[in-house]
Amino acid sequence: MRKKSVISEAREIQASIEMIDLGARLQLLESETSLSRERLIKLYKELKGVSPPKGMLPFSADWFLTWQPNIHSSVFADIYRYLITHADCRGIKAIIKSYKLYLEHCEISEMEPVLSLTRAWTLVRFFEGNILQTAPCMQCSGHFVVHANDLHHRYVCGLCNTPSRAGKTNKPRAQMFTEVLA
């Protein structure tokens, strides 16, 4: 029995290290592991050389609906949905794998990641709480993050209908996002 708990604790420490390396906030670590707060703070300090940032986690679903965060959140959401459906991956492991694939996509597309691991985790929680969902764009057929209670019958995404304040979108980059979301 003791050996099993040591192995379980080692897995949680390894998962915590991976999440810290990806930029996870302390609250995310506390929620996804059974390690004590003190142990997580010590681990964070060992890995990052500084104390974990203080403050509240992102709590507004509206952030995910603004132009650029919506595009990035939608890419992450599609990757996450694919892994859940086809890779038999669940929970925090699915979030971590999806986030790593999202980071790879940003790197290949030469784009700065907008979504943090903590925001990705929050997005999944909003999906699970039926606060957010995805809806298909009627022009490009990509799936984009929307409020669950809004009407989506004639939804047009931010790539097909770029807001004027968003500036000019590089067409090849917009095309890459559209292909990923389709």
* CA–CA distance, 63 with 86 (Å, rounded to integer): 28
Residue 32 lies in a domain: yes
Residues 66 and 139 in one domain: yes
Residues 7 and 82 in one domain: no
Residues 160 and 73 in one domain: yes
- Domain region containing 38: 2-48
The reported pLDDT for the residue numbered 136 is: 95
The reported pLDDT for the residue numbered 1 is: 47
User: Which is nearest to 101 in space by CA: 86, 122, 82, 119?
Assistant: 82
Residues 118 and 65 in one domain: yes
Residues 13 and 39 in one domain: yes
Residue 109 lies in a domain: yes
Residue 56 lies in a domain: no
Question: Looking up tokens 């995910």, which residue turns up?
Answer: 64
Residue 146 lies in a domain: yes
Q: What predicted TM-score, i.e. pTM, was given to this entire model? A: 0.84
Residue 137 lies in a domain: yes
Query: What Rg do the C-alpha atoms of the chain give, in angstroms?
Result: 18
- Per the structure, the count of domains in the chain is 2
Residues 155 and 101 in one domain: yes
Burial 52-83 (b: 16+ CB within 10 A, else e): beeeeebeebeebbebebbbbbbbbbbbbeeb
Q: What is the mean pLDDT of each run of 10 residues along the chain (182 residues)?
A: 66 93 93 94 94 83 94 96 92 95 96 95 96 95 93 90 68 56 57
Residue 55 lies in a domain: no
* CA–CA distance, 76 with 82 (Å, rounded to integer): 10
Residue 19 lies in a domain: yes
Using CA atoms, how far residue 164 sits from 67, 69, 158, 159, in Å, is: 11, 16, 10, 12
The reported pLDDT for the residue numbered 93 is: 93
Residues 42 and 71 in one domain: no
